Amino acid sequence: MTTLSIFNQNEPQTALSVTNDAGEIQRLLAEQGIRFEQWSTRDLPADASQDEILEAYANEVSRLKSECGFQTADVVSLNPDHPDKDAFRKKFLDEHTHSEDEVRFFVRGQGLFYLHLGELVYAVLCQRNDLISVPDGTRHWFDMGPEPEFTCIRLFSNPDGWVAEFTGEAIASELPQYESLAGVA
Helix (H), strand (E), coil (C) string for the chain:
CCEEEEEECCEEEEEEEEECCHHHHHHHHHCCCCEEEECCCCCCCCCCCHHHHHHHCHHHHHHHHHHHCCCEEEEEEECCCCCCHHHHHHHHCCCEECCCCEEEEEEEEEEEEEEEECCEEEEEEEECCEEEEECCCCEEEEECCCCCCEEEEEEECCCCCCCCEECCCCHHHHCCCHHHHCCCC
Q: Are strands 102-117 and 139-143 parallel, antiparallel or unpaired?
A: antiparallel
Backbone angles phi, psi at 73, to 5 degrees: -140, 145
Question: How many CB atoms sit inside 10 A of residue 130's CB?
Answer: 22
Nearest to 172 by CA among 92, 107, 71, 60: 92
Q: Domain limits of the chain?
A: 3-174
The CA R_g of the chain, rounded to the nearest whole Å, is 16
pLDDT at 149 over 70: yes
pLDDT value at residue 23: 97
Residue 155: strand pairing partners: 73, 103
In CATH, the number for domain 3-174 is 2.60.120.10
pLDDT at 185 over 50: no
pLDDT value at residue 46: 85
pLDDT at 159 over 90: no
Q: Is 140 annotated for ligand binding?
A: yes
Question: Each residue of 45-58: pLDDT tens digit?
Answer: 988 999 999 999 99
pLDDT at 184 over 70: no
Question: Each residue of 78-135: pLDDT tens digit?
Answer: 999 999 999 999 989 999 999 999 999 999 999 999 999 999 999 999 999 999 999 9
Residue 17: strand pairing partners: 6
Question: Each residue of 13-46: pLDDT tens digit?
Answer: 999 999 999 999 999 999 999 999 999 989 999 8
Do the beta carbons of residue 97 and residue 137 sit within 8 Å?
Answer: yes
Q: Using 50, 70 and 90 to split pLDDT, how confident is the model at 161?
A: low
Query: What is the rounded distance in angstroms from the CA atom of residue 155 to the CA atom of residue 141?
Result: 17
Q: Which amino acid is residue 132, in one-letter code?
A: I
Q: Is 82 annotated for ligand binding?
A: no
pLDDT value at residue 132: 98
Global confidence as pTM: 0.95
